[in-house]
Amino acid sequence: MILTDKQILMEIEKGNIVIDPFDRKYLGSNSYDVHLADTMAVYKDDILDARKHNEILAFKIHDHQGFLLLPGRLYLAVTQEYTETHKFVPFLEGKSSIGRLGIDIHSTAGKGDVGYCNTWTMEISVKQPVRIYPGMPIGQLIYFEVSGDVLVPYNKKKTAKYNRKTKQPVESMMWKNFDSKILGSK
C-alpha cells in the first residue's frame, strides 16, 4: 500500500520519514515533490566499463541560464532534498510535467531500500534538447509499506555502496561488485 499525505505527515512526525528541507506545499495526495539541486555531473569517458571506476565531472547549474540537456548523453543529477526512510520503501518517480518535456529521471533505479538515508542521484536522459533549472520540481517520492521486519536496513549494510552522505551526484559503483570481498570469491 502507498502512504497518503496524512500518513506521510504522521511518519515524518514519528521520525520514520525524514525530508530536509521539507515544505508542506510540496506534499501531494500520496507523494512528495523533490527538486533539482544545482550540481550535475557527466562521465569523463564516452565509453564506460562496468568493472572499472568510471569517474565523473561535476558542474554547477546557474539559476538564470539553466543548463541545456542534449539527447545521447547521460547526466547525473541530485535532489535538493536529503531523505531518510526507516520503515517504508521509497520510490522516486518522474513527474508527469517532466515526462511531457521528454525528460527521464532514472533508467532503472527508482526504488530505494528501507534504511536509505541520503539525497537521490538521478540518471537523466532526454528525447530532445531541453533546458532545466536548479530548484525546479524534478520527481516525486512515493512511500510503500513493507510486510514483515527488515533484518538489516540499507544504512547498516556493510556492502551498501551508496551510504556516503553527499549533496553531489554519485557515479555508478558497479565496479565494487567485482571486488572479491563483496562477491565472496578468493
- 75: nearest Cα among 99, 48, 104: 104
99: amino acid identity, one letter: G
Q: DSSP state, 177?
A: G
123 annotated active-site: yes
- 118: nearest Cα among 30, 9, 37, 3: 37
Q: CB under 8 Å to 113, separation ≥6 — which residues?
A: 89, 153, 154
106: amino acid identity, one letter: H
Q: DSSP state, 71?
A: T
Phi and psi at residue 66, to the nearest 5°: 65, -160
Q: What SS3 class is residue 167? A: coil
- Burial, 151: exposed, middle or buried (Cβ in 10 Å; 0-12, 13-18, 19+)? exposed
Q: How far apart are CA 67 and CA 65, in angstroms?
A: 7
Pick the catalytic residue from 84, 123, 145, 171.
Answer: 123
* Catalytic machinery residues: 123
